[in-house]
Amino acid sequence: MTADIVLRNVTLPTGRRADIVVANGIVRHVGAPVRADETIDCRGHTCLPGAVDMHVHMRGGVQAQKEDWHTGTMSAVAGGVTVVVDQPNTIPPITTPELLRARICEAEEEAVCGFAVNAGVVPDADLTGMWDAGAMAFGETFAAPSSYGEGLDPETLKELLTRIHALGGLVTVHAEEVSDRAPATLAEHDSARSGAGEAQAVRAVSALAPAEIRLHFCHASTAASVRAARGTVEATPHHLFLSHGMFDADDTRARVNPPLRDEETRRELWSCWDRIDVVASDHAPHTLHEKGVPFETAPSGIPGVETMVPLLMAAVRRRRITLISVIEKTSWKPAAILGIQRAGFEPGDRADFALYPDEITRIDASCLHAKCGWSPFEGLEAVFPEEVVVGGARAYTCGDLREARPAWYPGQGYLSLQNK
């Protein structure tokens, strides 16, 4: 057997040590060593399948000063993420097949790892056209207003969900209840978009959605929201690792939707770890200049794609969570939800991997790759990958991009048309 690359001395989740043989971007053999053009010795490292971050905002276009496909996916790879799913609340929002194809073309030119693009859900959107053109999923679908997204009333939302269900599409939902008052502090922001209101919105959407629809709730920030969700549910690192009491009361860098909660609520969210299906970053960068305005007018959103898995790996090292649960929630479960080939340790799996050392470090925003140049996780413990393999090739080594490996992952509507 010939190979493009072999990962030697990989400790598998079962505890067995083996070599992983890769050719043409696919795992071909797991077991005894073979000859290869290139080898990576994994001794002293934990080998994880590449993460799938199914909730990012890569910006670009007229928002390129915040982030673009190159810097955003470079940040992803440096954090062990090898596939990202971009949300459609861009400027302009993705509501037609033409806009979707343009977004895909932009990514193909600039991205350095795998990507997919979701379709916007508004009354005049061409849902069928975007599904056929390759949209991975529909949403974020806004059940409440947020950055660059208008909330849908229940009647309109029910109609759109019914149309998407008829297509066989996956719907991802941003569920909140929002008061009219403009918050001036992080605690007031928490109250204005309360945890109780979020859980009620999750229950309301669950009730009005068609019975068999593929439903996924984004960024649940409370245990009650996780428990109320029908279908699958994701949590973010910022809701798991940050509470608003960790920041100055009016620190706009910590403003995000849904808001950071109090410390008790944050700790309670961890109690639902086994019920959480997916951890996704909701990477939504803004520049410090944009954040440097009064709290009432500051944009919501924070960067996080590069720090997502490293934060979780530090929690693994501290024995707070298991390694297999991190693999499940960051790689295997999101791939299954999206219907893409999973990365892993079996023949036929996608050959995306990240190698993490044993040492715990602390997050230093000056060492990260996102264009915005800051992180709300500054100083927190993390374990960053030293090597990342994307599509069977060494894409990243100790801080340096070695090879760009963009790959578009279309949704099931496009794939069904291609197979007819």
| Residues facing residue 6 across a β-bridge | 21, 39
Can you give the pLDDT at residue 413? 96
Rounded average pLDDT over 341-368? 97
Q: At 154, which amino acid appears? A: P
| 407: its two tokens | 């790959």
Binding residues for Zn(2+): 55, 57, 140, 174, 219, 282
Tell which residue, 263, 72, 289, has the closest CA to residue 186: 263
pLDDT tens-digit map of 253-291: 999 999 999 999 999 999 999 999 999 999 999 999 999
**Residues sharing a CB contact under 8 Å with residue 16, sequence separation 6 or more, in sequence order:** none
Alpha carbon dihedral 224, 221, 311, 171, in 10-degree steps, equals 100
Residues of the chain with CATH 3.20.20.140: 50-338
Q: Is the predicted pLDDT of residue 209 greater than 80, yes or no?
A: yes
Can you give the pLDDT at residue 372? 97
**Residues sharing a CB contact under 8 Å with residue 319, sequence separation 6 or more, in sequence order:** none
In the chain, how many H helices and how many E strands?
Answer: 14, 20
**Residues sharing a CB contact under 8 Å with residue 355, sequence separation 6 or more, in sequence order:** 40, 42, 45, 46, 47, 48, 385, 386, 387, 388
pLDDT band at residue 351 using 50, 70 and 90 as cut-offs: very high
Query: Is 234 exposed, middle or buried (CB count within 10 Å of its CB: 0-12, 13-18, 19+)?
Result: buried
**How far is it, in rounded angstroms, from Cα 304 to Cα 71?**
13
Rounded average pLDDT over 36-62? 96
Tell which residue, 197, 297, 282, has the closest CA to residue 237: 282
CATH fourth-level superfamily of 50-338: Metal-dependent hydrolases (3.20.20.140)
Can you give the pLDDT at residue 147? 67
What is the percent of the chain where pLDDT is above 90? 93
Catalytically active residues are 282
pLDDT tens-digit map of 288-330: 999 999 999 999 999 999 999 999 999 999 999 999 999 999 9
Binding residues: 55, 57-59, 89, 140, 174, 219, 282, 286
Cα dist from 199 to 48, 176, 221, 225, whole Å: 33, 8, 9, 4
**How far is it, in rounded angstroms, from Cα 3 to Cα 23?**
5
Q: How many CA atoms, within 13 angstroms, populate the side-chain half-sphere of residue 125?
A: 30
Tell which residue, 70, 378, 169, has the closest CA to residue 254: 378
Can you give the pLDDT at residue 148? 64
Strand order in the sheet with 45-49: 45-49, 353-357, 387-390, 393-397, 400-401
| Residues facing residue 86 across a β-bridge | 56, 117
User: Residue 329 gets which letter from DSSP?
Assistant: I
pLDDT band at residue 181 using 50, 70 and 90 as cut-offs: confident
Can you give the pLDDT at residue 37? 84
Strand order in the sheet with 170-174: 138-142, 170-174, 214-217, 232-235, 278-279
Neighbours of 191 (CB within 10 A): 15
- The string over 330-364, giving b where at least 16 C-beta atoms fall within 10 Å of a residue's C-beta and e elsewhere, is bbbbbbebbebebbbbeeebbbbbbbbeeeeeebe
The secondary structure element, H or E, covering residue 80 is none
Q: Is the predicted pLDDT of residue 343 greater than 80, yes or no?
A: yes
In the CATH scheme, what is the code of domain 3-47+345-370+378-408?
2.30.40.10
| 32: its two tokens | 């005894």
Residues of the chain with CATH 2.30.40.10: 3-47+345-370+378-408
Binding residues for substrate: 57-59, 89, 286
Rounded average pLDDT over 58-63? 96
Full 3-state SS string of 190-203: HHHCCHHHHHHHHH
pLDDT tens-digit map of 89-110: 999 999 999 999 999 999 999 9
